[in-house]
């Protein structure tokens, strides 16, 4: 374990924003981590530490990070406990998320197939409660194991204690910066063609399966189809910097929804925005559709930053955009949503300044 100085984080965040970390350390083993806790740098920067798990859900908003960046490279072996119908798998935080999903399917398991192609690492999945096409990872997480920086002990956080919500968990809330995730345990099912009931009714997935003439999809069909849809909609993150959806879908009260609908009709009289009641009080609306059809942001570009041509919700870094530039662009979109449509749209991405 070696602490390095003035290291560029460009390759450590999926938006490829250049930000120099004053101190940087890569942790390969749990022993490394314990060594780090004894170091001078740890004591010095205790209040200014950034844990990185692939940087797939952060925006570095400053050219420098005046603290200690801890890059979690703990791979960890998968430990499998097999039961009759289900399997518990404990995976290391640094495992590439998508290859973990692939391997699970190759081993005849299912439960997370709809989450293929989401960038990032296993350790970031519970923080963000990643979700796509009707599946949220929180439902498959049994527990999260890691180091509690307050108590200075390893600890298991059960599913219930994770407080999973829409792109949300306790790791973004009161346990933010307090818990260093090292492993995650998932509950997956053995594939049985007679009982397998995939979540395949999500619009674009159902359409694509129908086009291929697949009426009884297997987990392999699901990951192949979803990989294709995502490759078409979301950019190749090796070529342009991105995170996927930058903003969450908006959640409005009935009253806010009525006001919003009225304002939309004033701008676009013929447009209907689909909406999904969450409960009696709240309604979810697809922010991507609003940015595209109401505000015209799909394909809109300002210098190095823009909204993807095929998915307005996805902000991309076309070249050398700084974190500030991206933040400025995002704030502009938020302001326009607020001023013209009366809605507050929340970023899904976490800002690190
Ligand atoms: N739409 C447009 N124009 C656009 C974008 C979307 O008209 O530019 C419309 C679509 O046609 C569709 C609706 O808006 O009718 C919703 O779009 P989509 O199905 O693409 O899903 P989304 O709500 O934009 C969410 C997640 C994605 C996830 C997909 C599929 C959020 C913020 N995003 O996107 O998650 O992959 O559903 O389940 O919840 C992510 O979180 O990073 C992410 C990619």
Nearest residue (CA) to ligand 1, atom 31: 248
Q: At what angle do helices 219-233 and 203-211 cross, to 10 degrees?
A: 110
Q: Tokens 């704030």 map to which residue?
A: 331
Ligand 1 pocket: which residues have CB below 6 Å? Answer: 132-133, 202, 204, 244-245, 248-249, 286, 288-289, 292-293, 298, 311-313, 348
Which of 7-16, 28-37, 73-82, 160-169 bottoms out in mean pLDDT, i.e. has the lowest?
73-82
Beta strands in 96-203 (DSSP E): 109-110, 131-132, 135-136, 141-148, 153-158, 179-190
Please report how many Cα atoms fall inside a 13 Å half-sphere around the Cα of residue 148, on the Cβ side: 11
The best mutation among 101, 128, 132, 348 to test binding of ligand 1, ranked by most ligand atoms within 8 Å of the C-beta, falls on: 132
Domains and CATH numbers, the chain: 4-72 (3.30.43.10), 77-233 (3.30.465.10), 241-352 (3.90.78.10)
- List Cβ neighbours of 253 (8 Å cut-off, separation of 6 or more): 281, 282, 283
Residue from 101, 245, 314 whose mutation best tests the ligand 1 pocket (most atoms within 8 A of CB): 245
pLDDT attached to residue 169:
96
**CA 286 to centroid of ligand 1, rounded, Å:** 7
Whether 228 is catalytic:
no
Most ligand 1 atoms within 8 A of CB, residue of 127, 167, 284, 286 to mutate: 286
Q: From the CA of 197, how far away is ligand 1's center (Å)? A: 23
C-alpha 266/C-alpha 285 separation (Å) is 18
Q: Of all atoms in ligand 1, which is nearest to the CA of residue 202?
A: 38
Question: Is it the case that residue 111 has pLDDT exceeding 90?
Answer: yes
The 10s digit of each residue's pLDDT in 226-280 is 999 999 888 877 778 888 899 999 999 999 999 999 999 999 999 999 999 989 9
Q: What is the pTM of this model?
A: 0.91
pLDDT confidence of 81, banded at 50, 70, 90? confident
Catalytic-residue membership of 167: yes
Rounded to whole angstroms, the Cα distance separating 308 from 234 reads 8
């Amino acid at each position: 374990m070696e602490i390095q100085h003035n290291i560029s984080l460009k390759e450590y965040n999926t938006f490829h924003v250049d930000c120099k970390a004053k101190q940087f350390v890569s942790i390969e083993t749990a022993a490394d981590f314990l060594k780090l806790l004894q170091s001078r740098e740890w004591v010095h920067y205790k209040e200014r530490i950034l844990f990185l798990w692939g940087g797939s859900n952060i925006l570095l908003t400053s050219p420098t990070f005046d603290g200690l960046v801890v890059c979690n490279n703990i791979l960890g072996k998968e430990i499998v406990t097999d039961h009759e119908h289900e399997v518990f798998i404990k995976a290391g935080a640094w495992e590439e998320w998508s290859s973990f999903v692939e391997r699970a399917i190759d081993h005849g398991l299912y439960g997370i197939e709809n989450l293929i192609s989401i960038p990032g690492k296993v350790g970031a999945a519970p923080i963000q409660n990643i979700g796509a096409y009707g599946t949220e990872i929180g439902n498959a997480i049994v527990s999260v194991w890691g180091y509690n920086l307050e108590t200075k002990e390893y600890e298991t956080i059960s599913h219930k204690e994770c407080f999973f919500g829409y792109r949300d968990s306790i790791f973004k809330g009161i346990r933010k910066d307090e818990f260093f995730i090292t492993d995650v345990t998932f509950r997956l099912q053995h594939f049985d063609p007679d009982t397998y009931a995939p979540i395949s009714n999500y619009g674009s997935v159902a359409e694509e399966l129908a086009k291929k003439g697949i009426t009884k999809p297997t987990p392999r069909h699901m990951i192949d189809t979803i990989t294709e849809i995502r490759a078409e909609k979301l950019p190749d993150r090796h070529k342009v910097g991105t995170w996927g959806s930058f903003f969450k879908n908006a959640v409005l009260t009935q009253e806010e929804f009525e006001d919003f609908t009225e304002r939309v009709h004033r701008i676009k009289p013929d447009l209907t925005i689909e909406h999904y009641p969450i409960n009696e009080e709240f309604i979810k609306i697809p922010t991507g559709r609003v940015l595209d059809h109401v505000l015209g942001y799909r394909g809109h570009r300002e210098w190095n930053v823009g909204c993807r041509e095929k998915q307005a919700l996805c902000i991309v870094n076309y070249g050398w955009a700084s974190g500030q530039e991206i933040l400025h662009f995002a704030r502009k979109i938020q302001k326009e949503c607020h001023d013209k449509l009366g809605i507050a749209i929340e970023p899904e991405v976490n800002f690190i300044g």
